[in-house]
Amino acid sequence: MTLGLDLDFGRLPTLERRALWPGTTKQNDGRGAEQGPAAGGSAGAEPGLSGRELRIAAAIAEAAMPPGRFLGGAGAETASRLSGWLSAIPPHLGQGLRAALWALELAPVPIRLRPLSALPLEERMEVLRGFEQSRTRALRALLKAVLTPLRFLHFDRPEMFKHVGCRYELPTVRDEEPRWLAQVTNGREIEEDLELECEVLVIGTGAGGAAAAYELASRGHAVLMLEEGDYHRRSSFTGRPARAYRDMYRDHGLDVALGNVAIPVFAGRAVGGSTVINSGTCYRAPERTFASWREGMGLPAEFSSEGLAPYYERVEQMLQVAPADPLHLGAIGPIIRRGAERLGYQHGPLVRNAPDCDGQGLCCFGCPTGAKRSTDVSYVPEALKRGAQLITAAHVRTIDIVAGRARGATATLGSDVSAAGRASKGTRRRPRLVVRAEAVVVAGGALMTPLLLRRSGACLPSGMLGKNLSIHPASKVMALFDERIDQWQGIPQGYQIDHFADEGLMFEGGSLPFDVAALAVPWTGHRYTELMERYPHLATFGFMIKDTSRGEVRPGLGGSPLVLYTMNQEDTAKMQRGIELLCEVFLAAGARRVLPLVAGCDEVNSPADLERLRARQIRAGDLDVAAFHPLGTCRIGVDPRSSCLGPDHQAHDVAGLYVCDGSAIPSSLGVNPQMTIMAMSLRAAQIIGERLST
């Protein structure tokens, strides 16, 4: 089959279309936790921990998660599961975790003259409680690094969910076989080197790449999409976070920004990119943000609410954007409404891209019903219907630049260490794919795009590549109520308080499944288990800030990004204010206990407690922070000395090379960015299409 300008796919082997697509695993056999690397390691893999390390892990697990009234305690079995899990993740991450294990093991020696695993259980609990309450950020970070996988593996069992009345897993559905799937090629099944030609090569299928591919294909151009991850369909979305982290998140969801606070930074790695694992929240960027771009960076008038309105409207039509259905908000919506109304704060349902949502509560782990209009079910299929082609499991190594112009890219096909852990010895060389194109659109996201461009020698003159990173730092507050909350039921992020948006504070729901909630509580020992046994009565709500801090992305170990980010005092104060306001809302709503998740401040249960929290000078390292919206690492601008791209998204120094993803966004938006990325990508694709047609 030949498409457009010599885009010849006749050389590709005819591939069997299977119900289980690449990147998915065999479904649960009914015996409990899923079999596979996330639960027990790769088949035939060597143990990830030595015998001594297994004993250390078991000793820590036993002290951190003792048995309760009905929840079983952790111990040797949990350590064994950790060993299997370590054998399945990228080696550099496993080595870091083993180092953290040993650091905790040896930490008590100067005072207690014995390593942690040699102490009696009560002493171990006392030591861990000291780490948990320490004002030394490094100790708390070490404890969190070790406890996060131990807790996840301990709670990722059907019997644990049954004890608290939660659903563990959804039944597997049968995938449909639409005609456009014939234009999707699984790179893992290609066995020989390939050379292909097209008009436009689009690298990445997230919010930016998929929208650009759709627009260009709609204009009649021959488009080839390359995606590093796999095409997961509804049969993959069974509601298990463990499977999603392994198969759909970059680096198993273990990328962390290093600085004065360790911040997990989450990004997708699949067809659909981060739209597959996001909450589905849809905002237009506020005019005040666009005004700062025009006034501070000299961007043209098109970068305004009015100028981008036609593109936003097209995005909203494609995503079928509408307010969340009140029937599926769960218990958290009425609770936040009650507290906000008593305090006089503006609030309401969030606007989302899930018109047929039935409140499964699993948006961040792949929508099991297909209701969420992530790009894998919207822009990508629509691009394929218009003649585009897609190759999955394609890791692009370099952009091919000839005489100052992008002429294509070189990729390797099939699984690699970053996707599936340690590569086995003797693995044959993976096939190479060379694509020649008239224009190249890079859309790998703010973490990976700068790494690819740096390897390719592009966007370097300004010195800004990889810098200017904003992340919308986010945190949450938890609260216990007398009434049942059952936060696993309903839209996880369906309600908002937007009263403080002008201050750069957006409050958005953040309900958590049982095993993910287990990671959010920084406590250890009996009080930790007691709290988890009350999960049905536990509520979670989150917020994010428009950050003024800026970080950087550099090449890291094993092809992963090294993310550096230091939170400044202004943003730290803004985070503290967000926590204080959420505590106030929960108290006004009638919470029995409020947990701000701030080091040294376990609970805020009265107005007096709230005043004490307000009087504290919280440091960045005292906060529990995560990030879901990395932006700005290859920003647009008019001055080549301070930006990487022009207002048309073309690289200042390489003709025919465009960037259409979050890395092109020049500053923090203050709202969820997917709609802005899509709108700006449609605009950029329109420019590219017009240039190719002249």
Residue 24's pLDDT band, with cuts at 50, 70 and 90, is very low
Same-domain pairing of 155 and 225: no
Same-domain pairing of 133 and 240: no
Which of 148, 163, 178 delimits the end of a domain? 163
Q: Give residue-wise pLDDT tens across range 262-289.
A: 999 999 999 999 999 999 999 999 999 9
Secondary structure of residue 410 in the 3-state scheme: strand
Same-domain pairing of 242 and 207: yes
Q: Of 594, 398, 561, which is closest to residue 481 (Cα–Cα)?
A: 594
Residue 558's pLDDT band, with cuts at 50, 70 and 90, is confident
State what percent of residues in the chain have pLDDT above 90: 85
Residue 479 lies in a domain: yes
Q: Give residue-wise pLDDT tens across range 174-184.
A: 888 999 999 99
Residue 452 lies in a domain: no
The set of residues, in sequence order, having a beta carbon less than 8 Å from that of 77 and lying 6+ positions away, is none
Q: Give residue-wise pLDDT tens across range 57-114.
A: 999 999 999 999 999 999 999 999 999 999 888 888 899 999 999 999 999 999 999 9
Q: How many domains, the chain?
A: 3
Is the pLDDT at 43 greater than 50? The verdict is no
Average pLDDT in the 402-422 region?
77
The token pair at 410 is 């070189």
DSSP letter at 627 equals B
Same-domain pairing of 371 and 499: no
CA pair distance 159, 336, nearest whole angstrom: 31
The set of residues, in sequence order, having a beta carbon less than 8 Å from that of 310 and lying 6+ positions away, is none
Instruction: Check: CB of residue 263 under 8 Å from CB of residue 471.
Output: yes
Domain extent, residue 488, equals: 323-352+474-546+568-622
Structure confidence at residue 604 (pLDDT): 96
CA pair distance 114, 375, nearest whole angstrom: 54
Same-domain pairing of 234 and 120: no
Output phi, psi for 322, to 5 deg.
-160, 160
Residue 20 lies in a domain: no
Same-domain pairing of 144 and 218: no
Is the pLDDT at 407 greater than 80? The verdict is yes
Instruction: Check: CB of residue 95 under 8 Å from CB of residue 417.
Output: no
Q: Of 611, 575, 580, which is closest to residue 594 (Cα–Cα)?
A: 580
360-379 as b/e: b if 16+ CB within 10 A? bbbbbbbbbbbbbbbbbbbb
Name residue 248's amino acid. Answer: M
Q: Which of 41-50, 171-180, 501-510 has the highest mean pLDDT?
A: 501-510
Residue 482 lies in a domain: yes
End-to-end CA distance of the chain: 26
CATH number at residue 205: 3.50.50.60
Is the pLDDT at 531 greater than 80? The verdict is yes
Same-domain pairing of 235 and 377: yes
Q: What is the Cα Rg of the chain in Å?
A: 24
Q: How many residues does the chain have?
A: 694
Q: Give residue-wise pLDDT tens across range 656-666.
A: 999 999 999 99
Instruction: Check: CB of residue 562 under 8 Å from CB of residue 555.
Output: yes
CA pair distance 273, 252, nearest whole angstrom: 14
CA pair distance 691, 687, nearest whole angstrom: 6
Name residue 326's amino acid. Answer: P
Same-domain pairing of 532 and 406: no
Instruction: Check: CB of residue 514 under 8 Å from CB of residue 169.
Output: no
CA pair distance 271, 227, nearest whole angstrom: 6
CATH number at residue 523: 3.30.410
Average pLDDT in the 248-258 region?
93
Is the pLDDT at 11 greater than 50? The verdict is no
Average pLDDT in the 496-505 region?
96
Same-domain pairing of 491 and 391: no
Structure confidence at residue 13 (pLDDT): 34
Structure confidence at residue 294 (pLDDT): 97
CA pair distance 365, 36, nearest whole angstrom: 17
Q: Which residue has the higher pLDDT, 153 or 16?
A: 153
Same-domain pairing of 542 and 664: no
Residue 683 lies in a domain: yes
Same-domain pairing of 602 and 689: no
Residue 130 lies in a domain: yes
Same-domain pairing of 231 and 107: no
Residue 209 lies in a domain: yes
Residue 459 lies in a domain: no
Q: Of 213, 180, 217, which is closest to residue 4 (Cα–Cα)?
A: 217
